[in-house]
């Protein structure tokens, strides 16, 4: 069944434009409530949000929709997406709901859901909800309506959970860390986590006004973090996105480390402690240098489709624990059920503190391969997967041998084809990508 509303990470769009309107969100919550009541007589859902001004409106709509279907609601207030996942599980709720558009600007918003176990929900569940949205509402009787209460200590509970993932025998004392929360959901949480573990914390991007989320700060604009680390002469910098499931990390030199490098660090730290790491999951975009470095340590890298949802599916299928994307979405399933920017940062700091090495020293085996990415906009009805393109791909792959690779994929949201070539030599990557792009343009 083709899904009309759900994308790869819930339902997202511009506020005031369908489906991100209060009337649809009320219908959505009512439909979700009816699906829940098929297996549970009196479900309870928890609802958290980021700091967008539209969160107030959408929270009210969700609350009404759930209550009208006979579902109780616990409001968590502003809380990172992974914090909602944690409290869903900790409070034995039936479902977790997050109001957030992650790294998007404030004019967008979205709704995403977590299972009672704090994990992403399967396609079949989303399809059941979409079917229920099309049905006429069945309002609960007055005696069966749901009730709503607010959990006042949601932030404190999540702070303690995040701290518990950092080794008890280690401390952050002596470290100065810049924390950038993107004026988002972790603005009142991330600085406290690092401070309570002993660090001196300088906060930026921690003054939300409803309109400034992700604006020139946070994981999608890491230059603000780089500048702050240098100006404050800090040891490290941590940048999160609007809902705090994504991480960018900076060292004292102002060098930015991407998710591929952080994934290697998490694997290396566990290997140094003598733990078995049979494999890790990256994506089609994971840098080849990381794959080669992991292989050299006896760790297999499996590539999933782009999207943390697909990384998680692959990890669960194989029974592995570690995975992630270059964008900074990272999974450590022995620490949390979903990607968590704060916990990922603590894993990096744990590796540094335990080893006594700098990040650059830990990553010495890795020199990232240059990646050249070209986006080609398609004309209406254009066929791009031509025999000429297949022939050029074979030619380029033969030239690259085992020191590079080609990835060509259509965008899931725009009429674009993305051509990526990775090679040890930047000029070779650029030349090969342009030749492939020219063939795509020619049709």
167 exposed, middle or buried (CB, 10 Å; 0-12, 13-18, 19+)?
middle
Edge-first strand order for the sheet with 108-114 is 11-14, 108-114, 95-99, 44-49, 72-78, 148-150
Measured between alpha carbons, how far is residue 265 from residues 276, 277, 363 in Å? 15, 12, 7
> What spatial distance separates the first Cα and last Cα of the chain, rounded to whole Å?
31
Dist. CA 411–CA 342, nearest whole Å: 29
Report the relative pairing of strands 108-114 and 11-14 from DSSP bridges: antiparallel
Structure tokens at 150: 């607010």
CB 241 within 8 A of CB 184: yes
What are phi and psi for residue 415, nearest 5 degrees? -75, 65
Catalytic residue among 94, 100, 102, 203: 102
Beta strands in 31-89 (DSSP E): 44-49, 72-78
Angle in degrees, CA 309, 367, 421, rounded to 5: 60
Comparing CA positions, the residue from 381, 397, 378, 383 lying closest to residue 436 is 397
Q: Whole-angstrom Cα distance, residue 443 to residue 377?
A: 11
**Dist. CA 178–CA 198, nearest whole Å:** 13
Give yes or no for a contact between 129 and 29, defined as CB atoms under 8 angstroms apart.
Answer: no
CA distance 161 to 166: 10
Distance CA 68, CA 46 (A): 16
Q: Which residue has the tokens 């600007």?
A: 105
Q: Any catalytic annotation for residue 102?
A: yes
Nearest to residue 231, comparing CAs of 202, 205, 208? 202
Active site residues: 102
């Amino acid at each position: 069944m083709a899904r009309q509303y759900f994308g790869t990470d819930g339902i997202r769009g511009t506020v005031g434009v369908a489906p991100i309107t209060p009337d649809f969100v009320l219908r959505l919550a009512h439909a979700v409530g009816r699906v829940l009541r098929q297996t549970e007589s009196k479900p309870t859902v928890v609802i958290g949000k980021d700091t967008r001004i539209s969160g107030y409106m959408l929270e009210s709509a969700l609350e009404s929709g759930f209550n009208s279907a006979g579902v109780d609601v616990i409001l968590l207030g502003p809380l990172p997406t992974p914090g909602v996942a944690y409290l869903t599980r900790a409070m034995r709720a039936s479902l977790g709901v997050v109001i957030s558009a992650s790294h998007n600007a404030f004019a967008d918003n979205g709704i995403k859901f977590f299972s009672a176990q704090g994990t992403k929900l399967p396609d079949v569940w989303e399809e059941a909800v979409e079917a229920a949205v099309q049905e006429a509402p069945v309002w609960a009787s007055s005696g069966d309506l749901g009730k709503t209460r607010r959990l006042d200590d949601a932030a404190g509970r999540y702070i303690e959970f995040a701290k518990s993932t950092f080794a008890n025998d280690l401390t952050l004392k002596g470290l100065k860390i810049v924390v950038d929360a993107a004026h988002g959901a972790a603005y009142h949480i991330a600085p406290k986590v690092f401070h309570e573990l002993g660090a001196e914390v300088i906060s930026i991007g921690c003054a939300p006004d409803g309109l400034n989320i992700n604006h020139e700060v946070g994981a999608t604009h890491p230059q603000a973090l780089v500048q702050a680390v240098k100006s404050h002469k800090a040891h490290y910098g941590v940048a999160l996105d609007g809902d705090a499931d994504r991480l960018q990390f900076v060292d004292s030199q102002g060098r930015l480390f991407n998710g591929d490098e952080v994934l290697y660090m998490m694997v290396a730290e566990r290997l140094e402690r003598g733990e078995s790491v049979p494999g890790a999951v990256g994506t089609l975009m994971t840098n080849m240098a990381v794959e080669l470095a992991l292989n050299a340590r006896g760790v297999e890298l499996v590539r999933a489709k782009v999207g943390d949802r697909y990384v998680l599916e692959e990890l669960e299928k194989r029974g592995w624990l570690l995975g992630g994307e270059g964008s900074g979405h990272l999974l450590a399933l022995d620490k949390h059920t979903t990607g968590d920017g704060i916990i990922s940062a603590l894993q990096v700091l744990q590796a540094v503190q335990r080893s006594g090495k700098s990040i650059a020293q830990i990553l010495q085996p890795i020199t990232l391969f240059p990646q050249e990415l070209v986006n080609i906009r398609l004309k209406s009805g254009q066929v791009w997967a031509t025999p000429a393109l297949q022939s050029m791909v074979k030619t380029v792959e033969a030239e690259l041998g085992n020191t590079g690779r080609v990835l060509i994929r259509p965008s899931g949201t725009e009429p674009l084809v993305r051509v990526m070539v990775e090679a040890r030599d930047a000029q070779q990557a650029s030349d090969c990508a342009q030749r492939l792009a020219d063939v795509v343009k020619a049709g």
